[in-house]
Amino acid sequence: MFRTEIIPQLSDRKISLNTPLITMGSCFSDHMGIRLLQNKFNVLTNPFGVIFNPISINKLLKVAAVNGNIDDQNWIESQNIYLHYDVHSQHGNIDKRKAEDNVNEAISLTHAQLQKTKWLIITWGTAIVYERKNTREIVANCHKVPANAFTKRLLSNKEIIADFEKILAILPADINILLTVSPVRHLKETLELNSVSKSTLRLACHQLSQQHERVSYFPAYELILDDLRDYRFYKSDMLHPSEEATEYVWSKFTKTYFDQHALDFTEKWRKIQAALNHRPFNPTSEAHQQFIKTTIKTLNELNEDIDVSTEINHLQQQLIN
């Protein structure tokens, strides 16, 4: 089987266990962000929800960088829920004030993390965008508003690069930016347009990583489509990568970007997670009670600056006094 070669441009800048991180973008960034959270990394994962196109991601980063406000004119009411065109519907609410609070909290959290983060991981999903006909603004989410309210078009390579470089100019200079292209196919745009879209994104990633030292590219797209190359590695919808495929990409990612200490910890934590997920036949047996005590001891002896109180409390609740 063919194997994609990963040559990180930022090989001298590794991710440590305590490195602050942000993931933003398509649902694939959710998968990687959740893996980072599960392994106790300091990560803020998709604070604005799933966002597919580069322009909308950049727009949110611009607002968060200055702890500003999103465009008040982009609020809409749909089916008695207040939603904003620039963010995912998860921030919507039947009370507009609460919806605004949800978005403002996401902005504040992202702003705070941007002040200390060293790695910003961005996953682009599509270069096909929808513009409001009345304002010509690109939206992140159409929120099921009728299609005749929008104009669909394909972003150009130059447009993506120019807008991204505006972001580089305002982000802290010590943030490393890792670009990825989502392997999830957007079949509603047809296979042909999906291919054109992904190609446009991939070319923009290549040019940006070549032109800017602190920008690199991780080939999640190629790992799924070229290395694995089989529908066995997709979920039943044949669009989203399976758990096995995600695990494969995660393994490549950690070996490429984690420092040795972080790699050692993730291996240690994998064994601890297996112990935490263990479901005994007889929870009250002496053997299992001793197993719980041993696992608690292992957690207490972790020589890491991480919070394991939730895991310890969960285990302690299973002890029989």
Which residue range is the domain that position 172 belongs to? Answer: 21-258
Q: Is the CB of residue 60 less than 8 Å from the CB of residue 160?
A: no
Q: What is the pLDDT of residue 51?
A: 97
pLDDT tens per residue, range 54-73: 999 999 999 999 999 999 99
Question: Per the domain annotation, does 321 fall within a domain?
Answer: no
Using CA atoms, how far residue 299 sits from 41, 280, 291, 302, in Å, is 16, 19, 12, 5
Question: Per the domain annotation, does 12 fall within a domain?
Answer: no
Please state the length of the chain: 321
Question: Per the domain annotation, does 114 fall within a domain?
Answer: yes
Q: What is the pLDDT of residue 151?
A: 97
Distance separating alpha carbons of residues 241 and 171, to the nearest angstrom: 31
Using CA atoms, how far residue 301 sits from 39, 101, 190, 287, 317, in Å, is 17, 40, 53, 21, 19
Question: Per the domain annotation, does 282 fall within a domain?
Answer: no
Question: Per the domain annotation, does 31 fall within a domain?
Answer: yes
Q: Which residues, in sequence order, are bridge partners of residue 76?
A: 83
Q: What is the pLDDT of residue 240?
A: 63
Q: What's the domain count of the chain? A: 1
Q: Is the CB of residue 96 less than 8 Å from the CB of residue 53?
A: no
Q: What is the pLDDT of residue 236?
A: 60
Q: What is the pLDDT of residue 11?
A: 47
Q: Is the CB of residue 202 less than 8 Å from the CB of residue 194?
A: no
Q: What is the pLDDT of residue 229?
A: 64
Q: What is the pLDDT of residue 33?
A: 92
Tokens encoding 47: 């604070």
Question: Per the domain annotation, does 314 fall within a domain?
Answer: no
Question: Per the domain annotation, does 64 fall within a domain?
Answer: yes
Q: What is the pLDDT of residue 97?
A: 96
Tokens encoding 119: 């790695």
Q: What is the pLDDT of residue 133?
A: 95
CATH number at residue 189: 3.40.50
**Nearest alpha carbon to residue 24 among 103, 120, 105:** 120
Question: Per the domain annotation, does 198 fall within a domain?
Answer: yes
| Mean pLDDT of each 10-residue bin along the chain, 321 residues long | 55 82 90 92 96 97 95 92 96 96 97 96 96 95 94 97 96 94 82 92 97 94 75 58 79 93 92 86 88 90 84 90 70
Long-range contacts, 281-290 (Cβ 8 Å, 24+): 283/318, 284/320, 289/319, 289/320
